[in-house]
Amino acid sequence: MADSNGLLAGKTGVISGALDPDSIAWALAEAAHREGARFVLTNAPVARRFGRLDELAEATGGSPVVYADATADDELEDLFAQATDALGGPLDFVVHSIGMGMNVRKGRAYEELKYEWYQKSLDISAISLHRMVRAALAKDALADGGSVLAMSYIGAQRVFSEYSEMGDAKALLESIVRSFGYRLGRRGIRINAVSQSPTKTTAGGGIQGFDAMFDFAEKVAPLGNADQASCADYCVTLLSDYTRMVTMQTLYHDGGFSAMGISDALIEGMYGDVLGGDDA
Ligand code: NAI
């Protein structure tokens, strides 16, 4: 883990989506705490049963925990009301690190999506970002100059066969980032999506073929796959004042994967040592 640079000293926020120590949001909360932020942790009420948020709350200096379903507007409004109360005023950042693909999880093929589940997947994984920002605005919970961050994946732009409905969800999420970014910009508030490498987490593991996606990306990306801790360090910069003029972007944190086509490591993985060169 990086040393503290006090990048978020004095800043307050809400961090969603930390379920267990593998969660991207878990690492992000640890990094934000290290950099001096104070925040409320939130997750779905059902996570109270099998999540480990209390541990994280303790490890980050007694962060308040407020459970809220990110698809329930009243619960989100209550979350932001409680967060501004607990942290003493409008927040400097909001982190959306929430995703779930119901058809993916239940092994239902894209051609045969169950629409009820599809809608739920879009609501949980994408529309919830709109709901969160809207609830925060309704409660006057976003400070001018604040930063909103959501987690995405390159399946928003390109087809990764097993990613299925989640590609649609991430495309919508990234579009919401742009559409809300325009509106939030009037108040100096920015919003971005970080498009992260495949990462070994509960949500990641729920995708069939995840190990193949992970290994493929590892072979293609010049720097290899980015893990949770490096993602957290990058996210911290996006919550800090150093990125105050960056908004409406999908920012790739993927070891260079998104700029690649074919790599030698991939060819060698498929055909053995046929290249013979001493190239990278
Ligand atoms: P995770 O399983 O640790 O986190 C997903 C979180 O969403 C969990 O904490 C879960 O409780 C929460 N959640 C689900 N339904 C909810 C609801 N109705 N209300 C509130 N919270 C709800 O997995 P991970 O990987 O840390 O996921 C975080 C974000 O990162 C997601 O948006 C995911 O799509 C994204 N991402 C993950 C990648 C991966 O390979 N693991 C790659 C790129 C992006």
C-alpha of residue 271 to centroid of ligand 1, in Å? 35
Tell me how far apart the alpha carbons of residues 176 and 20 are, in angstroms, rounded to a whole number.
Answer: 27
The residues that are catalytic are 153, 163
pLDDT in tens, 38-64: 999 999 999 999 879 999 999 999 999
The ligand 1 atom at the shortest distance from the C-alpha of residue 123 is 18
Tell me how far apart the alpha carbons of residues 9 and 175 are, in angstroms, rounded to a whole number.
Answer: 31
Residue list, annotated binding site for NAD(+): 17, 23-24, 98, 170
The answer, as to whether pTM is greater than 0.95, is yes
pLDDT for 208 equals: 83
Domains of the chain: 12-271 (3.40.50.720)
The ligand 1 atom at the shortest distance from the C-alpha of residue 70 is 19
Residues 6+ apart with CB under 8 A from 273: none
**Phi and psi (nearest 5°) for 82?**
-65, -40
Average pLDDT of the chain to the nearest whole number: 96
Q: 74: exposed, middle or buried (C-beta count within 10 Å: 0-12, 13-18, 19+)?
A: exposed
Contact indicator for 64, 103 with CB cutoff of 8 Å: no
Interface confidence, given as ipTM, is 0.99
pLDDT for 2 equals: 81
DSSP string, 219-231: HHSTT----HHHH
Contact indicator for 91, 146 with CB cutoff of 8 Å: yes
**Phi and psi (nearest 5°) for 279?**
-70, 170
User: CA–CA distance from 244 to each of 14, 125, 173, 184, 241 (Å)?
Assistant: 18, 26, 21, 13, 5
Which amino acids bring their CB within 6 angstroms of ligand 1?
16-17, 19, 23-25, 43-44, 47, 69-71, 97-100, 124, 151-153, 196, 198-199, 201-204
In the DSSP assignment, the letter for residue 261 is S
pLDDT in tens, 206-221: 888 899 999 999 999 9
Q: Whose CA is nearest to atom 28 of ligand 1?
A: 97
C-alpha of residue 204 to centroid of ligand 1, in Å? 8
User: CA–CA distance from 204 to each of 1, 24, 51, 101 (Å)?
Assistant: 22, 10, 16, 10
- Helices then strands, counting H and E runs in the chain, come out as 12, 7
The ligand 1 atom at the shortest distance from the C-alpha of residue 202 is 2
277 has pLDDT over 70: no
Q: Which two tokens stand for residue 55?
A: 């541990």
